[in-house]
Amino acid sequence: MQNKINNLLIDSVEEVQIGVKDLKIGMFVSRLDRPWLETNFRFQGFELKNQADIDAVQKQCDFVFIDTTKQVKVPQYVARSTSYTPDFLEKVQPPAKRTSFKHEIGKAEVIYQKASGLVKNFMEEVKFGRPINALAAKKAVAYCVDSVLNAPDALMLMTQLKNRDEYTAQHSMNVCIFSIALGRQVNLPVEELNHVGLCGMMHDMGKMRVPLEILNKPGRLSPEELAVMQSHAVMGWKILLTTSGMYSGAVDVAFTHHERLDGEGYPRQLKAEQITPYTRMVAIADMYDAVSSDRIYKKGRSHLDAIKILTESSSNGHLDPGLAMKFIECLGIYPAGSLVELNSGEIAMVIEVNPKAKLKPKILMLRDTQKMPCQEFVVDLALSSATFDGQPLKISTVLRADECGIDLLKYYQSGLLQKGWKQAKP
């Protein structure tokens, strides 16, 4: 059975046999001189990232097969994320230093829309059996990294402007952004932000091989349908494994993002020590976006409900508790794009989190005290001296868009967020 799987996976790769003494960092090992199950390698196909990887292969094999389409000398594309200039982003040059939300939002719009379109195109290519352009994916991720580093709330706000009819593509895009944001929160270097962002973007490609009637079924899946749905992890692994130039970590995450630390995940019921940090990070981003998004057959949960689910899932052994807490810290109680009601009864949208006063973000006023549309203007709750009934103006609760009849996508498409705002007087 193992040989049959290996044969299926090597049809579309260019392999050369090489003695283990000639291995070099950057080579991609696609086959061994013996069955994978007779070794202690966890993955069937991996990049030699350092001398320790080479030593491990040399101890167990006499020769291996190298996939030359995935071989790299030095992964220079992550040395500086700004070195990428994809065609669709030629005119969007990242600033030299961190910028404000107001200055970043226009660039973030271009990055999100174009990169989302690229992900949608990747999925169409997969659906029809055509290859993914790994280089274009890496370039798009690099620009997402730049945007998150420059002004994270701008691109994070884009994740809230969801269209349920384009859920699958938007979900992969959002998981990419959330994974980068989590990586930033735990101080990963730019190289690793590019890696984890690509893992997030590619994690669900296998769903393109799942029939739509199962993917979008409103009711409970039958055991047979559930097995087909869960097969997307294996499908994604196979797709990325044979994608020229794809980062090996993304191959692993596609295979393992539904594994759980307690061994109750799928498809291999891996335990905590077998699950990589990137997989743990993408699993958290995946769950958050999935439960907070509207689907064709259900409404998404609020941000506060979503982080409650993350907390429960980390406490019961499914998710990494330390990373889950870092993710919640990164989003904050009122993340960019949240609709909130103030103690005055007014309704606003959070546009920028104040890192020193997370309960007092910058907000864009949308409805007056009577819940009627008003002239939009920005209030910085950390600086404002405005009061209501003698009390400082503050956020009372988080709302869902459908609870107050506000279409965030329309506000965004109107260009309001890209225009210069009239700052409210304190």
DSSP 89: G
Cα–Cα distances in angstroms (integers) from residue 329 to residues 174, 183, 258, 322, 345, in the given order: 17, 12, 23, 11, 27
- Which backbone phi and psi does 393 adopt, to 5 degrees? -65, 130
* Separation CA 54–CA 147 (nearest Å): 36
3-state secondary structure of 375: strand
- pLDDT category at 290 given cuts 50, 70, 90 is very high
Q: Which pLDDT score, from 0 to 100, does residue 416 have?
A: 57
Average pLDDT of every residue of the chain: 81
Could you read off the pLDDT of 75-128 as tens digits, one per residue?
A: 332 323 333 333 444 444 443 445 667 677 778 888 888 898 899 999 999 988
Calpha distance 182→125 (Å, rounded): 29
CA distance 117 to 136: 12
pLDDT of residue 210: 94
The residue among 184, 100, 201, 85 whose CA lies nearest residue 143 is: 85
| Gyration radius of the chain over CA positions | 23
* Separation between Cα atoms, residue 289 and residue 164, nearest integer Å: 12
Average pLDDT for 168-177: 93
Q: Which residues pair with 399 in a beta bridge?
A: 339
Question: Per mean pLDDT, which range of 55-59, 101-105, 358-362 is the poorest?
Answer: 101-105
The residue count for the chain: 426
- Residue 74 — very low, low, confident or very high, per pLDDT cuts 50/70/90? very low
Task: Indicate the pLDDT class of residue 66, thresholds 50, 70 and 90.
Answer: confident
